[in-house]
């Protein structure tokens, strides 16, 4: 056990011994034979550093200890929760909020509510105990404010391909408000205000409460269930859809064991929000999804609430939103929403999560083949067919340096070249077979990811579209280009270069933020939770990092 852990344990044990079996009082609590304010203030100054060291970071997240220290220094170590020898009532509200942190998918154990309650139960606290309580409550307040605003966990420590983390400092402002009451009241303003977050949070609470009150109703695996079937498995199916919210409770009499049209429609709704083929029949895949436990769904929602907290507190009105798990791009431009299908990176070449700024586009682009793709994809094709480059409109150069000499690809013995010895630069000239198609949309980034056209239009007929080498292929790039240049001189310039077939770089009239995001749980248009395939297996990484069940303790109900 570390020294800091021992200090924390000592604090807990001391408070437990002093509290006996008392409970926090309601109403204003006046301290019996109160110490003087100067005594409390002196103790606060002594306890700040000691207590901050005792309450060390948990679960790999750095607690905002420096902010707590700064807040006390700014107020010359006056206590935050005690004024005029009176305990501020808002500390009880704070405890209630901390105990309800599970409703955001956070763990109450991280915010020391039980320890604060033990201090509040003391009948004749010493100046040191009052100081300890004051500092611990402030640590809990700051930690929860930070986690609610920015997320508790560092995303890149969980997944190196998750490069989107937009911390803000709003939570820190809370510590410098005039009173503890103002600080506690400010907490509710720190959670993400996105409707998506708010709807998901409500469903998290629903699944949490339901899993504590009821057992999961599972559908026994077996043969396909379809309209007209009867039997106990149909009754199980109906009961499960009621439990999950796809069938609303009704007093109308119904034959529970009959697969009627109402049940079929409800099953279709379930299938659509789980990205299954919505045929209204319960086959093995649908039954497998139906039988995912409520507790597992609650945890999945909790992971996605944390992902929302990694996003900026306010999203730009004009933005491009590439929803990787939905295989779509949503263009929020000038008060209008336009969506289209996309193809994303394969599981071997995952499209990373990050934010960029789209600044220009290229018409009739030349494709400079990334070195990794050249090694892993192009070289095997050349070793099988030395004329591959000629057939598909590629040029090859001696190196990646400026002014490198163009080579005759048919004169190179590709079979003798090893993957780790590849030094050539390959470029595919603009034509109808070019991998970039007619458009390339650029938001410069270290990953060399961009949006582009593609000649492989047939892939958009697939339900799951993870086929690219990491970049995003657009279903309708012409419409995309029109939307981002609408009403500008660049729009006319784009049309001219396309007509001429010329390779041109066109700066955008307005730079547009681009988000590449990844959610395995989202709210659909009807306000129901939509659970998606975790194509890049990022949820297990979240489970390992978060390491807890986002549920209240059953005994506390």
pLDDT, tens digit, for every residue of 236-272?
Answer: 999 999 999 999 866 578 899 999 999 999 999 999 9
34-48, 318-332, 487-501 — most confident range: 318-332
339 burial type by CB count under 10 A (0-12 exposed, 13-18 middle, 19+ buried): middle
Query: What 8-state DSSP symbol labels residue 335?
Result: T
Q: Report the DSSP pairing between strands 504-517 and 319-323.
A: parallel
pLDDT for 358 beyond 90: yes
pLDDT, tens digit, for every residue of 399-442?
Answer: 988 889 999 999 999 998 998 888 899 988 887 778 888 999 99
pLDDT, tens digit, for every residue of 194-211?
Answer: 999 999 999 999 999 998
Domain segments of the chain: what residues?
Answer: 3-191, 192-216+295-313+529-557, 367-429
Sign of CA dihedral 203, 204, 207, 208: negative
Sign of CA dihedral 383, 387, 390, 396: positive
- Report which secondary-structure segment, H or E, holds 65: helix 65-74
Q: What is the mean predicted confidence (pLDDT) over 156-175?
A: 90
* Cα–Cα nearest to 29, from 78, 95, 88: 88
What are the contacts of 371-376 at 24+ separation with CB within 8 A? 371/400, 371/422, 372/469, 373/469, 374/422, 374/424, 374/426, 375/419, 375/420, 375/422, 376/419
Q: What is the mean predicted confidence (pLDDT) over 508-534?
A: 96
**From CA 258, how far away is CA 231, in angstroms rounded?**
7
275 burial type by CB count under 10 A (0-12 exposed, 13-18 middle, 19+ buried): middle
pLDDT, tens digit, for every residue of 472-520?
Answer: 999 999 999 999 999 899 999 998 998 888 889 999 999 999 999 999 9
Identify which has the larger pLDDT, 390 or 15: 390
pLDDT, tens digit, for every residue of 69-115?
Answer: 889 999 888 999 998 888 999 999 999 999 999 999 999 988 999 99
pLDDT for 175 beyond 70: yes
pLDDT for 452 beyond 90: yes
Q: What is the mean predicted confidence (pLDDT) over 20-30?
A: 42
The confidence band for 45, taking pLDDT boundaries of 50, 70 and 90, is confident
- Which residues are known to be catalytic? 452, 471
**From CA 453, how far away is CA 480, in angstroms rounded?**
10
């Amino acid at each position: 056990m570390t020294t800091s852990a021992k200090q924390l344990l000592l604090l807990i044990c001391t408070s437990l011994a002093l509290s006996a079996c008392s409970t926090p009082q309601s109403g204003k609590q006046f301290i019996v034979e109160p110490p003087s304010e100067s005594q409390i203030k002196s103790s606060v100054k002594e306890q700040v550093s000691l207590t901050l060291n005792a309450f060390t970071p948990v679960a790999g997240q750095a607690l905002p200890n420096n902010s707590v220290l700064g807040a006390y220094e700014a107020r010359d170590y006056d206590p935050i929760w005690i004024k005029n020898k009176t305990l501020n009532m808002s500390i009880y509200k704070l405890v209630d909020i901390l105990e309800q942190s599970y409703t955001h998918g956070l763990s109450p154990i991280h915010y020391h509510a039980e320890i604060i309650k033990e201090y509040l139960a003391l009948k004749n606290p010493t100046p040191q105990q009052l100081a300890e309580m004051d500092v611990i409550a402030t640590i809990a307040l700051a930690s929860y404010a930070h986690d609610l605003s920015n997320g508790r966990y560092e995303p890149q420590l969980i997944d190196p391909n998750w490069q989107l983390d937009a911390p803000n400092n709003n939570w820190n402002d809370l510590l410098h408000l005039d009173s503890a009451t103002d600080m506690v009241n400010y907490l509710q303003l720190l959670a993400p205000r996105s409707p998506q977050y708010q709807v998901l949070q409500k469903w998290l609470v629903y699944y949490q409460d339901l899993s504590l009150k009821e057992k999961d109703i599972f559908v026994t695996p077996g043969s396909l269930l379809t309209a007209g079937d009867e039997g106990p498995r149909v009754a199980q199916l109906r009961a499960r859809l009621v439990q999950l919210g796809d069938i609303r409770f009704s007093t109308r009499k119904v034959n529970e064991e009959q697969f009627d049209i109402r049940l079929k429609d409800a099953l279709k709704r379930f299938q659509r929000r789980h990205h299954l083929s919505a045929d209204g029949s319960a086959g093995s895949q649908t039954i497998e999804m139906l039988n995912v436990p409520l507790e597992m769904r609650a945890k999945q929602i909790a992971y996605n609430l944390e992902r929302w907290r990694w996003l900026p507190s306010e999203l730009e009105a004009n933005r491009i939103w590439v929803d990787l798990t939905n295989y779509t791009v949503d263009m929020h431009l000038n008060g209008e929403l336009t969506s289209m299908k996309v193809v994303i990176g394969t599981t071997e070449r995952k499209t990373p999560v990050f934010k960029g700024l789209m600044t220009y586009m290229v018409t009739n682009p030349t494709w400079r083949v990334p070195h990794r793709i050249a090694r892993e994809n192009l070289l095997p094709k050349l070793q099988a067919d030395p004329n591959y480059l000629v057939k598909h409109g590629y040029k090859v150069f001696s190196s990646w340096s400026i002014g490198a000499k163009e080579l005759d690809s048919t004169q190179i013995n590709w079979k003798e070249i090893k993957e780790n010895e590849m030094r050539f630069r390959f470029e595919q000239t603009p034509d109808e077979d070019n991998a970039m198609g007619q458009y390339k949309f650029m938001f410069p980034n270290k990953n060399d990811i961009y949006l582009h056209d593609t000649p492989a239009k047939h892939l958009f007929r697939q339900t799951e579209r993870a086929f690219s080498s990491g970049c995003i292929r657009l279903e309708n790039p012409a419409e995309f280009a029109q939307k981002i240049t609408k009403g500008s001189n660049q729009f006319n310039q784009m049309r001219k270069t396309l007509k001429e077939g010329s390779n041109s770089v066109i700066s955008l009239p307005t730079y547009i933020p681009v988000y590449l995001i990844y959610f395995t749980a989202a709210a659909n248009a009807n306000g129901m939770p939509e659970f998606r395939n975790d194509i890049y297996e990022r949820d297990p990484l979240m489970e390992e990092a978060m390491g807890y069940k986002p549920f209240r303790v059953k005994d506390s109900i």
